[in-house]
Amino acid sequence: MTETLLTELATQIKIWGRELGFQQIGITDCQLEQHGERLRAWLDAGHNGDMDWMGAHGEKRWRPDLLQPGTLRVISARLDYLPPDTQPVRVLKDADKAYVSRYANGRDYHKLIRKRLAQLAQRIDDFCNANGMDSSGRAFTDSAPVMERALAEKAGLGWIGKNCMVINSGAGSWFFLGEIYTNLALPVDNSDETNQCGDCTACLKVCPTDAFVGPYQLDARRCISYLTIENKGPIPEEFREPMGNRVFGCDDCQIICPWNKFAKPTAERDFHPRHGLDDGDLLTLFGWSEEEFLRKTEGSAIRRIGFERWQRNLAVALGNGRPGADVIAALERALPEATPLVREHIEWALARLHSGRRRKRKIRRPATGSTL
């Protein structure tokens, strides 16, 4: 009887998930030991940079039952976020524009997905209560030591590509992930999404900073997303020119992926661009006061880096743009009140603009033996 109810519940979970706006739901077991071994090797190589929290929770990352006692299954959810009518390549090629990673154009996804997962968990609890079954669980979305991509792959939501993103053959990779850890022994989905990257290496070749050590291996210390978001200090000079106009994150390895021709625009209005952040003017954004920054990034993932790092990133982008008198004047006006961190990047930008040198759009990883 219980097995029949669990099979019925698994079917209902997928129906409820779609009703709540998720594009796909998969269910998997908790066997992640191989992924744990790869994570340990990645950490040992120092590829996490200053993200010490990546190694702070030990086996909890690949042992879901240690994070949430009693966990037997993981419900993995996919929510597409690609804004409609987005033109990332056009923005990247426009020296006057600021490129913000497409996931951050709209509302911060954490609260939205967590709320949807909580609603799904409540429906599961209601079903179990009505059928005399014990149910306990916990929802996550990019906010705890959870191996989201590994779980999504096991649950059949896609495969982990050479760019380390989860790729779905019918939807590309422009999506968020969320999970519910549950004590229910639900039937597990058998993935039909085998790795289909084949011989393609477009994502590895396009990376402006050569951040991929090899297929499926990212050195975060060289990744523009890490440098502009997670990195709290100065951006190393060697990476400033290849950053171009990317002021919050980088999508190059997704834009180039041929599977993203199947990506569909999101129906979630909360993920639609706010305040023109999908193609904002660099000078306008650099001219924001801290008050304006806080107001216009309210509810956005951008706010987490704070005003200082926002200005730091914009200064680099301006230094990589056109050497117009208005750009130079704006940078010079900002110098007197700039923090030491921002000042360093403004001075670099001014020196670059005055030099007239052509920008390096791409750099290569140093020869073997270098720490980076």
Active-site annotation, residues: 142
Which of these, 327, 345, 275, 333, lies nearest to 303 by C-alpha position? 275
- Listing from the earlier edge strand, what are the strands of the sheet with 175-182? 24-28, 73-80, 175-182, 137-140
164 is in an annotated binding site: no
Structure tokens at 45: 């190589």
166 is in an annotated binding site: yes
> 212 pairs with which residues across the strands?
218
142 is in an annotated binding site: yes
Direct distance between the N- and C-terminal alpha carbons of the chain, in angstroms, rounded to an integer: 57
Spatial distance between the Cα atoms of 286 and 314, rounded to a whole number of angstroms:
6
Max distance between CA atoms of the chain, in angstroms, equals 76
Q: Are 79 and 109 in contact (CB under 8 A)?
A: yes
Which of these, 348, 281, 262, lies nearest to 100 by C-alpha position? 281
Q: Are 60 and 181 in contact (CB under 8 A)?
A: no
CA contacts within 13 A on the Cβ side of 260: 22
User: What is the DSSP annotation of 263-330?
Assistant: ------GGGS--TTTTS-BHHHHHT--HHHHHHHTTTSGGGGGHHHHHHHHHHHHHHTS---HHHHHH
253 is in an annotated binding site: yes
50 is in an annotated binding site: no
61 is in an annotated binding site: yes
203 is in an annotated binding site: yes
Spatial distance between the Cα atoms of 199 and 219, rounded to a whole number of angstroms:
21
Q: CA–CA distance from 107 to each of 124, 165, 268 (Å)?
A: 27, 21, 10
Binding residues for [4Fe-4S] cluster: 197, 200, 203, 207, 223, 250, 253, 257
Binding residues for tRNA: 232
Binding residues: 61, 142, 163, 166, 177, 197, 200, 203, 207, 223, 225, 232, 250-251, 253, 257
